[in-house]
Amino acid sequence: MRYVSPIVIAEITCLITAILLVWKDRNVFWKVITCYIAIALGTELYAIYLASKHIHNLWLFNIFLIFESSTILYGLYCCLKQYTTPKPIFLIGSGVVYLTYFIFLFTHPFTDPNTLTISVMSVFFTLYCLYYYYLLLKDENFINIKTHPEFWWVTGVLFYYFGSTMSNIFDGLFSVKIIGVATLRYCIYVLLNLILYSLWVYSFICRMKQRKLHS
């Protein structure tokens, strides 16, 4: 039962949906996202296992951070590529994120949570998402956003990274328990993960429908 948490359930659901609906997609983007969800789930389960053995697990999340930032950067790059040439802004963004990561790595113990990189990453991801919306609105062609997979994928990213801004900034400064042993921070992350994975599941459904329509 220890392994069953709302985040794990959300990740398993999202992974199963991704494997069933978009794994066979010709577009590499969807395969990368499926692999990322599998890695996220693996990380989450291993972190729970380490915690159960009373072993420090923050180093695991620090390694996962590399996969997380790379995948989301790649995903946003693919989405923005449809409207503009995003290479320069992504070179800057990824440069800053990785530089922050390695500076933090060399100046802090590896077992410290890399909140600085998470905050910097969140800012860049939020900006890219807003830029995506801007380009979407500016584009002359009309798209049906209700069934547009990339739109909902980006929306999930925006909710998660924009919503986690305050928790990242005040990380470590508050540890109020609200439901039994669950801290407020944990509850916020559960909520954000549920929103993220729900929107991603919806985007997979949209993608599957879109593919069926085009085949």
Partner 1 sequence: MQNETTKIALLVAVSTLVFLLMPVFLILYIRSYNRHKKNHFLEKQNMQQRFDSEILQTRIEVQDQTMQSIATELHDNVGQLLSLTTLTLNSVNLNDAEKAKRKIENSLSLVNKSIKELRELAKLLHGEQLVENGIGHAIDQEINWLGKAGTYELKTNNLLTDSQLVSPDKDLIILRLLQEIINNVIKHAQATYIQIDSYLEDGALHLKVTENGIGFNPDEINAKKAGMGLNSIYKRIEMINGKLALNSAPGKGTSIAIEIPYP
Q: Which stretch binds partner 1 (CB under 8 A): 10-18, 56-64, 65-73, 180-188?
A: 180-188
Q: Which stretch binds partner 1 (CB under 8 A): 17-25, 103-111, 136-144, 205-213?
A: 136-144
- Report which DSSP code applies to 182: E
- Report which DSSP code applies to 193: H
Q: Give me the phi and psi of 89, to 5 degrees please.
A: -70, -30
Nearer to partner 1, 70 or 84 (CB): 84
Q: Is residue 174 close enough to count as binding partner 1 by CB under 8 A? A: yes
Residue of the chain from 38, 66, 123, 188 that contacts partner 1 (CB under 8 A): 188
- What are the Cα distances from residue 9, in Å, to 18, 100, 194, 198, 202? 14, 32, 9, 11, 16
Residue of the chain from 70, 119, 147, 165 that contacts partner 1 (CB under 8 A): 165
Q: In this structure, which long-range contacts are made by residues 12-16, counting pairs with CB atoms below 8 Å and at least 24 apart in sequence?
A: 12/41, 13/197, 13/201, 14/197, 14/200, 14/201, 14/204, 15/41
Contact 59, 110 (CB under 8 A): yes
Nearer to partner 1, 106 or 142 (CB): 142
Residue of the chain from 184, 190, 194, 205 that contacts partner 1 (CB under 8 A): 184
- Looking up tokens 């530089």 gives 99
Nearer to partner 1, 70 or 183 (CB): 183
| Residue 50 Cβ vs partner 1, minimum distance, rounded to whole Å | 26
Nearer to partner 1, 43 or 167 (CB): 167
